[in-house]
């Protein structure tokens, strides 16, 4: 049981870290990144569809994204979706290609994005701590029901704490790296 519990805790904590990575990927750094357009929804024949499912999104260089729709009729819809996304991009269309230049970030906006990154990191830490709390409560219940010895509980609580510390350190590294990326000009 103890190995299954450890694997379950680690898997749940790893999911929290993966969710943080996805959230940090959405924060604009001034550099072109295809993940910035992942949540842009395009009207695809009456159905809202994610941009990467109707077009190929690539990084042309550090400051430009290129969107190549798979259907010629989708160019206008994709351009409209990008404009309405609230990301502050001004797409430039030339034939079947949509070029998206990344506007430079102001110093104030960079600081605000750093705060957003720290906030997302704190949310991930809270999720990891909640997993620890739930697991520890489960272990206490197991001891009360006499399904687990107190020594075994103590050993498992220490293992859960060790995993918690490991994942929180990983979250701190991710947030620090994202902050450096945001503040870099």
Distances in Å between the Cα of 96 and the Cα atoms of 74, 75, 159, 169 are: 9, 7, 55, 45
Last residue of a domain, one of 78, 101, 124: 101
Q: In the chain, what percentage of residues exceed pLDDT 90?
A: 44
DSSP letter (8 states) at residue 54: T
Distances in Å between the Cα of 165 and the Cα atoms of 31, 131, 138, 182 are: 32, 12, 19, 26
Paired residues of 169 in beta bridges: none
Q: Over 70: is that where the pLDDT of 185 sits?
A: no
The set of residues, in sequence order, having a beta carbon less than 8 Å from that of 121 and lying 6+ positions away, is 20, 171, 172, 174, 175
Domain count, the chain: 2
Band of the pLDDT at 30, cuts 50, 70, 90? low
What's this model's pTM, rounded to 2 decimal places?
0.71
Q: Over 90: is that where the pLDDT of 169 sits?
A: yes
Last residue of a domain, one of 85, 101, 117: 101
Q: Is the domain of 54 the same as that of 90? A: yes
Last residue of a domain, one of 67, 84, 101: 101
Contact 68, 56 (CB under 8 A): yes
Q: Over 80: is that where the pLDDT of 65 sits?
A: yes
pLDDT digits (tens, 9 = 90+) for 88-145: 788 999 888 999 988 777 888 788 888 888 999 999 999 999 999 999 999 999 999 9
Paired residues of 68 in beta bridges: 56
pLDDT digits (tens, 9 = 90+) for 40-57: 899 888 889 888 999 999
pLDDT digits (tens, 9 = 90+) for 10-24: 999 999 999 999 888
Paired residues of 49 in beta bridges: 42
Q: Is the domain of 147 the same as that of 165? A: yes
Q: Where are the beta strands (DSSP E) in 95-179?
A: 97-101
For strands 97-101 and 92-94, give the pairing: antiparallel
Residue in the block written with tokens 């230049």? 101
- Provide the domain limits for residue 93: 34-101
H or E, element range at 47: strand 47-50
């Amino acid at each position: 049981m103890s190995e299954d519990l450890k694997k379950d805790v680690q898997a749940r904590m790893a999911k929290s870290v993966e969710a943080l990575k996805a959230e940090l990927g959405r924060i604009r750094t001034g550099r072109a990144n295809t993940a910035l357009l992942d949540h842009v929804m395009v009207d695809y024949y009456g159905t809202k569809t994610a941009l990467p499912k109707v077009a190929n999104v690539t990084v042309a260089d550090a400051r430009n994204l290129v969107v190549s729709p798979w259907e010629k009729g989708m160019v206008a819809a994709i351009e409209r979706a990008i404009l309405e996304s609230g990301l502050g991009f001004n797409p430039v269309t030339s034939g079947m290609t949509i070029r998206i230049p990344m506007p430079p970030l102001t110093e104030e906006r960079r600081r605000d994005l750093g705060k957003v990154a720290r906030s997302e990191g704190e949310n991930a830490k809270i999720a990891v701590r909640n997993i620890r709390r739930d697991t520890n409560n489960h272990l206490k219940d197991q001891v009360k029901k006499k399904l687990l010895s107190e020594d075994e509980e103590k050993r498992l609580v220490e293992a859960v704490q060790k995993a918690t510390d490991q994942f929180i350190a990983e979250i701190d590294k991710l947030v620090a790296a994202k902050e450096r990326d945001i503040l870099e000009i």
